Amino acid sequence: MTRSGQPVAPMRASTLEIDRAAIAANTRRFVRSTSAAIMAVVKSDAYGHGLAIVARTALASGATWIGVTSLAEGIAVRAAGISMEVPVLSWLNPVELDVATAVQLRIDLAVPSVRHLEAIAAARSRARVHLHLDTGMARDGAAPEEWRALMAAAKRAEADGLIEVVGVMGHLPLAATPDHPANERGQCAFLRGVELAGQAGLRPVVRHLAATAATLTIPMTHFDLVRIGAGLVGIDPSCTTRLRGVMRLTTPVVQVRRVAAGVGVGYGHSHITTRATTLALLPIGYADGIPRCASGRAHVLVGGRRRPVIGEISMDQMIVDVGVDPVAPGDVAVVFGPGDDREPTVADWARWAGTIPHEIVTGIGPRVGRRVI
Ligand SMILES: *Cc1c(COP(=O)(O)O)cnc(C)c1O
């Protein structure tokens, strides 16, 4: 409102609504599906949905752990007011790390190598650690060849009172394809890793291997804790389960133009109109996370119908062909949403862009206003 009491137009043209009830429903869906504890993975601002709202809603709906990929994100979790009673785990940390801050904020640290372990032990602050085994990604975690050495080093450090070993973790590369043999190999590698930890005299009470896809498709992988990120925000990599979409992205029509047949549209004239039609201009583009490579395939909902996005998507704007329908400036276009009203979904945009939904939701730019509903 202005001082005179007049309502003012919102400062930002495009709005991203985050549906808290959908996050809660998705969380409860996972709580019901397993006897393991649920870790809400809120890395990358909870996949672009907002760390604080997703963490709080998931915890209120049955999740009991929070997972992040850096100490900075763990600090942000505590800054968001998440109680010190709630365990937080941070993985993917560099060797040089402020271990004292992690311990002070009760943030557990994943340990992927002997070097990391030695650095954490050197801080002499009795950090809580989860030993991270690479169970088939050839990515983060200790290589199987290093695992015994890591167990021995962890046992020594624990005996000296320098660390406390809380968990063992792994991650599966092909859980979205549950029949793939890599899943059984990963489970065997994980069980063997846990067994070797026991033989080394360690007692990791929190064993965790599954993320969203494995939790939905391979119950054997649940162990003590499952780490759920995508699933909380309505993304199912295994395409087996109906989860609720959480984001709704809208933008207003700013301009409408009647054009004749044969008119080139946008940069490069990649689209030439084939008939007289009406073009609606939307103030959102690739700088806001609309993938440019979806040009020529994407659709948005305007006036209750799906309309093609034509020409090249620009940095700040894109053009929609609305035909002969009466569309006016100020009408709202739905770029994507949960799909209730036939609007495109995040999964549709991912398909048009040749990517996965995760990349769409984490890519929405800072010019888009955010609102929790
Ligand atoms: C991102 C991540 C998760 C969460 O994966 P989703 O498929 O989004 O549930 C779990 N574990 C690790 C190690 C991760 O990096």
Q: Evaluate: CB of 231 within 6 angstroms of ligand 1.
A: yes
Nearest of 97, 103, 90 to residue 119 by alpha carbon? 97
Q: Evaluate: CB of 172 within 6 angstroms of ligand 1.
A: no
Q: Residue 5: exposed, middle, or buried by beta-carbon count in 10 A (0-12, 13-18, 19+)?
A: exposed
**pLDDT < 70 positions in the chain:** 1-10
Helix (H) or strand (E) holding 165: strand 163-169
Q: Evaluate: CB of 248 within 6 angstroms of ligand 1.
A: no
> What stretches of 65-113 show up as alpha helix (H) in DSSP?
71-79, 99-104
Residue 140 CA, closest ligand 1 atom number: 13
- Pairing of the two strands 318-323 and 277-282: antiparallel
Measured in Å, residue 145 CA sits from the centre of ligand 1 at 24
286 is catalytic: no
Q: How far apart are CA 40 and CA 88, in angstroms?
A: 9
pLDDT of residue 11: 74
Q: How far apart are CA 357 and CA 324, in angstroms?
A: 32
pLDDT of residue 6: 53
Measured in Å, residue 348 CA sits from the centre of ligand 1 at 22
Measured in Å, residue 273 CA sits from the centre of ligand 1 at 44
Q: Evaluate: CB of 171 within 6 angstroms of ligand 1.
A: yes
- Look-up: residue for tokens 């998705």? 26
Q: How far apart are CA 55 and CA 67, in angstroms?
A: 9
pLDDT of residue 198: 97
Q: How far apart are CA 8 and CA 107, in angstroms?
A: 43
Contact 172, 210 (CB under 8 A): yes
Measured in Å, residue 228 CA sits from the centre of ligand 1 at 6
Rg of the chain in Å (alpha carbons) = 24
- Pairing of the two strands 247-252 and 255-259: unpaired
pLDDT of residue 2: 43
Residue 69 CA, closest ligand 1 atom number: 15
Contact 214, 314 (CB under 8 A): no
Helix (H) or strand (E) holding 347: helix 346-353
Residue 213 CA, closest ligand 1 atom number: 7
Sign of torsion, CA 14 20 23 29?
negative
Contact 4, 228 (CB under 8 A): no
Measured in Å, residue 41 CA sits from the centre of ligand 1 at 7
Q: How far apart are CA 255 and CA 283, in angstroms?
A: 9
Instruction: Give me the residues paired with residue 165 across strands.
Output: 129
Is residue 251 classed as helix, strand or coil in its secondary structure?
strand
Sign of torsion, CA 173 176 177 181?
positive
Minimal-distance CA residue to ligand 1 atom 15:
69
155 is catalytic: no
Q: How far apart are CA 117 and CA 229, in angstroms?
A: 26
